[in-house]
């Protein structure tokens, strides 16, 4: 067995460095398997964002030409009923890498290889125990929106993919332990204990309701984020309801305005219902989510659900009191397959409400919410096995600013072009 594993690993590594864009699989008579593959996504098109998004004098349209950030190498090693999965992401974007200063950025351009996923699993009976870094403890389905993941959002938020933040949610890749059971072909479930998201916050609040960042203290957790998911397959219709709850605390927060003691804990939770309907050549994908403090007013990457929207996060008043933000979002994707072509039509909507912070102190009639939406179409065209060309156009509307008088527009954005996909 050891000789088989050594041979598989050496041959797999040799092939990886020689020809990186293909799938490679070795199986032995003793249930040992080694798989190596890749997913390569290249965007070519135009990217337009309004003057509000880019803090500029006029709207701007520019070239979009990127290796998408989720392009990756991946592999699986299985020895009997024990296995491991790894995924290394390697996207790049030279324009965004240069930045305003001309210096290179590992977060915006010439990405260092990211260990995106790395976990092991053990299968026993109809159960699986997983431990390591991965996602999927909450989200299950995506829309057919592909372009823009890695071009860098002009607002400093996350780039676009799958309508995340505009009707859809992503639960981040975090360390976790997950127990799964397939009770039957129609029913299964997951229970996950997940590393919580951590928040940098000084407790003072601000005029925008955002947590303060100067002399910020990192939150901590006394128990994991807990998530559960059901998987129900009824033939034409599949449902994957899921929910999570997370509780974090801060210590040693400085006094807020007037010497007030700031809130030192925050609870985030959400529930979602994804539904997939298949009828012949037609596929409809739908999802709706409702929750509290799903994002963060400080940094979208610190939210439990990576939702691109700071408005979905908790807010603080100037005296440091945390005020919960409730929100909901939904999306749909309608697809039809005809031969080698599958067009997708999709749209999503996101709304975040905070009665205690949004609209407070503003002129009468100001909104106490932010609502945003996106819509578009793409066409998956299969040219050959593992090679697809995907024309696409998507429009995003960021809604209005609920913490500024008059609720000015936050801006709009569109991306049009084609994505080249090599998937192995």
How far apart are the C-alpha atoms of 354 and 349, rounded to whole Å?
17
Q: Which of 11-25, 41-55, 110-124 has the lowest mean pLDDT?
A: 11-25
DSSP 126-145: TEEEEEEEE--SS-----S-
Is a pLDDT exceeding 70 seen at residue 177? yes
Do residues 413 and 50 touch, judged by C-beta distance below 8 A? yes
Q: Is residue 187 part of a domain?
A: no
pLDDT at 31: 78
pLDDT band at 107 (very low <50, low <70, confident <90, very high): very low
Is a pLDDT exceeding 50 seen at residue 16? no
Query: Is-above-0.75 flag for pTM?
Result: yes
Q: In 337-372, which positions are buried (b, 16+ CB within 10 angstroms) versus exposed (e)?
A: eeeeebbbebbbbbbbbbebbbbbebeeebbbbbbb
How far apart are the C-alpha atoms of 326 and 332, rounded to whole Å?
21
296-301 — which CB contacts under 8 Å span 24+ positions? Answer: 296/197, 296/199, 296/211, 297/208, 297/209, 297/210, 297/211, 297/325, 298/199, 298/200, 298/201, 298/210, 298/211, 298/213, 299/200, 300/157, 300/158, 300/165, 301/158
Q: Give the mean model confidence (pLDDT) for residues 407-413.
A: 90
Q: Is residue 219 part of a domain?
A: no
pLDDT at 366: 85
Q: Which of 210-214, 254-258, 324-328, 329-333 has the lowest mean pLDDT?
A: 210-214
Q: Is residue 248 part of a domain?
A: no
Phi-psi region of 25 (alpha: psi -120 to 50; beta: other; left: phi over 0): beta
Q: Is residue 124 part of a domain?
A: no
pLDDT at 207: 76
Q: Is residue 405 part of a domain?
A: yes
How do residues 334-343 score in pLDDT, each as one tens digit? 999 999 999 9
Q: Is residue 338 part of a domain?
A: yes
Q: Which of 92-106, 244-258, 349-363, 403-417 has the lowest mean pLDDT?
A: 92-106
CATH number at residue 67: 2.40.160
Q: Is residue 392 part of a domain?
A: yes
Is a pLDDT exceeding 80 seen at residue 108? no
How do residues 214-254 score in pLDDT, each as one tens digit? 888 989 999 999 999 999 999 999 999 999 999 999 998 98
How far apart are the C-alpha atoms of 163 and 353, rounded to whole Å?
20
pLDDT band at 98 (very low <50, low <70, confident <90, very high): very low
Return the bridge partners of 397, or none: 373, 412
Average predicted confidence (pLDDT) for the chain: 85
**The domain containing residue 152 runs over which residues?**
2-114+139-173+269-423
Q: Give the mean model confidence (pLDDT) for residues 169-187.
A: 94
How far apart are the C-alpha atoms of 34 and 344, rounded to whole Å?
34
Domain count, the chain: 1
pLDDT band at 370 (very low <50, low <70, confident <90, very high): very high
pLDDT band at 8 (very low <50, low <70, confident <90, very high): very low
Q: Is residue 322 part of a domain?
A: yes
């Amino acid at each position: 067995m050891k000789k088989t594993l050594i041979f598989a690993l050496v041959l797999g590594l040799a092939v990886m460095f020689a020809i990186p864009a293909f799938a490679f699989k070795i199986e032995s008579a003793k249930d040992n398997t080694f798989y190596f593959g890749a997913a390569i996504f290249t965007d070519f098109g135009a990217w337009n964002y309004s003057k509000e998004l880019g803090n500029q004098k006029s709207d701007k349209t520019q070239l979009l030409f990127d290796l998408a950030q989720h392009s990756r190498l991946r592999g699986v090693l299985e020895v009997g009923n024990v296995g491991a999965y790894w995924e290394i992401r390697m996207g790049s974007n030279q324009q965004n890498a240069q930045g305003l200063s001309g210096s290179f950025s590992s977060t915006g351009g010439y990405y260092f290889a990211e260990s995106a996923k790395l976990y092991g699993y053990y299968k026993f009976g109809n159960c699986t125990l997983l431990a390591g870094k991965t996602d999927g403890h909450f989200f299950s389905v995506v829309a057919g929106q592909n372009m823009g993941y890695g071009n860098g959002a002009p607002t400093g938020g996350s780039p676009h993919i799958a309508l995340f933040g505009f009707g859809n949610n992503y639960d981040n890749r975090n360390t976790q332990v997950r127990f799964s059971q397939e009770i039957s072909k129609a029913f299964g479930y997951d229970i996950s204990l997940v590393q919580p998201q951590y928040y940098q916050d000084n407790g003072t609040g601000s005029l925008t309701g955002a947590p303060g960042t100067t002399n910020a203290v990192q939150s901590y957790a006394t128990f994991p984020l807990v998530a559960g998911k059901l998987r129900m397959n009824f033939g034409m219709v599949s449902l994957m309801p899921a929910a999570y709850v997370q509780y974090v605390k801060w210590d040693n927060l400085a006094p807020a305005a007037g010497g007030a003691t700031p809130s030192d804990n925050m609870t985030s939770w959400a529930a979602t219902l994804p539904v997939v309907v298949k009828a012949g050549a037609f596929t409809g994908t739908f999802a709706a989510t409702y929750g509290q403090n799903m994002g963060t007013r400080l940094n979208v990457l610190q939210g439990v659900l990576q939702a691109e929207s700071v408005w979905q996060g908790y807010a603080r008043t100037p005296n440091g009191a945390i005020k919960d933000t409730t929100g909901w979002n939904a999306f749909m994707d309608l697809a039809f397959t005809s031969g080698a072509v599958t067009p997708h039509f999709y749209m999503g909507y996101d709304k975040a409400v905070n009665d205690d912070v949004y609209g407070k102190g503003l002129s009468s009639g100001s909104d106490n919410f932010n609502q945003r939406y996106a819509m578009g179409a793409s066409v998956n065209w299969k040219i050959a096995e593992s090679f697809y060309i995907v024309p696409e156009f998507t429009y995003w509307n960021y809604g209005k600013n609920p913490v500024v008088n008059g609720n000015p527009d936050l801006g709009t954005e569109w991306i049009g072009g084609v994505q080249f996909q090599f998937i192995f």
